[in-house]
Amino acid sequence: MTETASTSRGGGDVRLSGISKTYGSFHAVKPLDLTVPQGSFFALLGASGCGKTTTLRMIAGLEEPTTGTVFLGDKDVTGLPPYKRPVNTVFQSYALFPHLDIYENVAFGLRRRGIKSVRGQVGEMLDLVQLGDFAKRKPHQLSGGQQQRVAVARALINHPQVLLLDEPLGALDLKLRRQMQLELKRIQTEVGITFIHVTHDQEEAMTMADTVAVMNGGLVEQLGSPADLYENPETTFVANFLGTSNLIEAEVAEIHGDEVVVTAGGAKLRLPAGRCSAPTASGGRLLVGIRPEKISLAHADDAGTIPDGRNRITGRIADSSFIGVSTQYVIDSPVCPEFEVYAQNIERDSRLAPGAEVVLHWNPAHSFGLDAAQDIDAGIETVDEEVS
Ligand code: ATP
């Protein structure tokens, strides 16, 4: 931990209370209560137009909320202009000064405040972003990722309590984006201040953030750790937007203690009552979700070898794609028209080819239940093709 980094800590949580933004009659952000714990790496994730940038800009003071209050720690900053808030923003366009070298770009915030002796702090910041050897270069002599690191150093040198990042990696190619995700995570851990990161890339949010708020239509649909959101989605939007989910339309047949038994397309499936985010009652409808990698695939001739107690459905392989670490199958089944199954390529069964009759089976504990009144396809069309 560096001296500069350690002195940047403090300030308390970011708290949004009833914050909203309307443009005319359009609700870009609906009344929102949100707490971002101090020192956390927090992601606002959602498709284009869901209101994440507007939320970020209200924290920065660049957008005036229609209703609600922004707190930094105990302090109400809603009425403060951006430059009076202990907050800095890094944008997708790095906005570096082209005529200044990297050293002077990073020193800018200190010089503006009249600080004469900048060498120690600038050196420390350049080391933090691992650009110590690039101090004399101009921005155009750096790669996109390096320029973005300069932008981060330039923001952090002001010792903000909170760093806001608005799609900071959006202009980078996929490989560089992956490297920068790890780099930003390292920097955040080192400086220990709160980072609030806006992205539409679910993999990016999950790689970097401790907590992710999934936004849709101006609302936070669900908030939690990446693993919790992935394993326990509570809406069809979250189930489809974060990774892929098979969602089966089912009818509740019976409830045995903490197990729910449903029927779907002639199959009987079980799932834990504790993993149902919708009320369950006999005769009611439920969407049963199962992630593609939780499912095992057996050729129909081997159906007898499947252990008891597993959920099982039959189908026919419609398509298979070999993608190196795994093979992705699409299965036609009476239970679900396009069932996706990802099988790790450990020992490949050559019989599992398009046209083959198969049995899909999985541990009932891996299923989750969602409210059947929702749009089953919510979130699917908005997934970023490049990263999915
Ligand atoms: P993106 O990833 O595309 O930036 P976003 O989730 O960050 O999307 P916002 O920029 O917050 O979305 O915008 C939310 C909604 O508010 C959008 O439908 C947008 O068109 C609308 N909006 C944003 N700014 C204005 C404005 N100044 N006037 C009218 N509508 C606006």
Q: Are residues 47 and 182 in the same domain?
A: yes
The Å distance, Cα 219 to ligand 1 centre, comes to 13
Q: Are residues 57 and 112 in the same domain?
A: yes
- Is residue 265 left, alpha or beta, with left meaning phi > 0 and alpha meaning psi from -120 to 50? left
Q: Are residues 256 and 204 in the same domain?
A: no
- For 99-137, b/e burial (b = at least 16 CB within 10 A) is eebbbbbbbbbbeeeeeeebeebbebbbebbebeebbee
The CATH number of the domain where 355 resides is what?
Answer: 2.40.50.100
Task: Provide the terminal-to-terminal Cα distance of the chain, rounded to the nearest Å.
Answer: 36
pLDDT of residue 280: 76
> CA–CA separation, 29 vs 285, rounded Å?
31
Residue 376: inside a domain, yes or no? no
Give the closest residue (by CA) to ligand 1 atom 17.
49
- Is residue 214 left, alpha or beta, with left meaning phi > 0 and alpha meaning psi from -120 to 50? beta
The CATH number of the domain where 72 resides is what?
Answer: 3.40.50.300
Q: Which atom of ligand 1 is nearest to the CA of 21?
A: 16
> CA–CA separation, 237 vs 291, rounded Å?
14
The Å distance, Cα 25 to ligand 1 centre, comes to 14
DSSP, residue by residue, 85-136: SSEEEEESS----TTS-HHHHHHHHHHHTT----HHHHHHHHHHTT-GGGTT
Q: Are residues 331 and 213 in the same domain?
A: no
What does each of the 388 residues of the chain score in pLDDT, given as a tens digit?
333 333 345 579 999 999 999 999 999 999 999 999 999 999 999 998 999 999 999 999 999 999 999 999 999 999 999 989 999 999 887 789 999 999 999 999 899 888 888 899 999 999 988 899 999 999 999 988 889 899 999 999 988 999 999 998 887 888 888 888 998 999 999 999 999 999 999 999 999 999 999 999 999 999 999 999 999 999 999 999 999 999 999 999 999 889 999 999 889 999 999 999 887 778 889 999 999 999 999 999 999 999 999 999 999 999 999 999 999 999 999 888 899 999 999 988 899 999 999 999 999 999 999 999 888 889 886 444 444 3
Q: Are residues 365 and 332 in the same domain?
A: yes
Q: Are residues 128 and 152 in the same domain?
A: yes
pLDDT of residue 10: 56
The Å distance, Cα 315 to ligand 1 centre, comes to 43
Of 236, 256, 275, the position where a domain reaches its end is: 236
Residue in 52, 198, 216 to alter for ligand 1 test, most ligand atoms within 8 A of Cβ: 52
Q: Are residues 225 and 259 in the same domain?
A: no
Number of structural domains (the chain) is 2
Give the closest residue (by CA) to ligand 1 atom 16.
28
Residue 190: inside a domain, yes or no? yes
Q: Are residues 205 and 256 in the same domain?
A: no
The Å distance, Cα 28 to ligand 1 centre, comes to 6
In 3D space, the residue among 8, 43, 6 whose CA is nearest the CA of residue 195 turns out to be 43
| Helix 174-191, helix 144-156: angle, nearest 10 | 20
Residue 5: inside a domain, yes or no? no
Q: Are residues 167 and 70 in the same domain?
A: yes
Q: Are residues 199 and 61 in the same domain?
A: yes
Q: Are residues 181 and 327 in the same domain?
A: no
Q: Are residues 260 and 364 in the same domain?
A: yes
In this structure, the residues whose C-beta lies within 6 A of any atom of ligand 1 are 23, 26, 28, 46, 48-54, 200
pLDDT of residue 144: 86
Strand 162-166 versus strand 194-199 pairing type: parallel
The Å distance, Cα 343 to ligand 1 centre, comes to 39
Domain that holds residue 110: 10-236
Helix (H) or strand (E) holding 194: strand 194-199
